[in-house]
Copies of this chain bind each other. A is one copy, B any other.
Amino acid sequence: MDQKIIEQIVSQVLASMPALTQDEKADNGIPVGVSNRHIHLSAEHIDILFGSGYSLTKDKDLKQTGEYAAKETVTLVGPKGVMRNVRVLGPVRAFTQIEIARTDGFSLGVVPPLRDSGKIAGSPGIVVVGPKGAVTLTEGVICAARHIHMEEADAQKLEVKDGDRVTVKVHGARGGTFDNVLVRVNPSFRLEFHIDTDEANAAELKNGDMVTLCK
């Protein structure tokens, strides 16, 4: 057979085959980070909830550089229910954002839209209660869309770039794939696949479990 035709056929065959899965590249695992419901607070709202000039107290560092779980918690009050001991995450942000799972939304009586972090326009509000006061938010409750944090070196290794939407493979009895996973690349980020508690429970995943990328 003509060498050119053979090459053409081989390239067609290769194009029609699924790419090597990341499973087959043992060193390309991504650790899971499960986000329980939490709140990011603005300075203005910290003043109202905890007292004027109050500073958050770090309880423990999170994996993402500079991010931490504070010792402080708040209570969320929705039309249908109350959730106590909702963890405040630091540092202070420009605006208050609450991230809950859909299951939490049913308990509280709010339907948070699925959003990338920071995109709270048009999301529902809720009442936030702290030891010194309460804030009635008109927006800010979202269901955070799953995403992967990484730095540039990881992005190059995984052959993705900031803003990509990728598919992640989960192994095990409740395995499968998650589509539409946002890739976020930043020098301060550490490699971590962030999902909420519904996603973690549905896929039987816990902190530190490894997933792989389907390209």
Chain A residues at the B interface, C-beta cutoff of 8 Å:
1, 5, 9, 12-13, 16-18, 101-103, 114, 145, 167, 173-180, 196-199, 201-204
Contact = CB atoms under 8 A, between A and B. Distances in A.
A9 B197 CA distance: 47
B176 A177 contact: yes
Copies held by the complex: 2
Nearest to A113: B173
Contacts of A199: 202
Contacts of A102: 201-202, 204
A75 to B, nearest CB: 17
Contacts of A203: 202
Contacts of A177: 176-177
25 contacts: A1-B1, A1-B5, A9-B9, A9-B13, A13-B16, A16-B16, A17-B17, A18-B18, A101-B201, A102-B202, A102-B204, A103-B103, A103-B197, A103-B201, A114-B173, A114-B204, A145-B173, A174-B178, A175-B179, A177-B177, A198-B198, A198-B201, A198-B202, A199-B202, A202-B203
Contacts of A179: 174-176
A197 B198 CA distance: 8
A114 B174 contact: yes
Contacts of A173: 114, 145, 180
A204 B114 CA distance: 9
Given A114-B174, A174-B179, 9 more contacts: A13-B13, A16-B17, A102-B201, A103-B197, A176-B178, A176-B179, A198-B198, A201-B202, A202-B203
A198 B198 CA distance: 5
A204 B103 CA distance: 11
Contacts of A18: 18
A90 B17 CA distance: 48
Contacts of A204: 102, 114
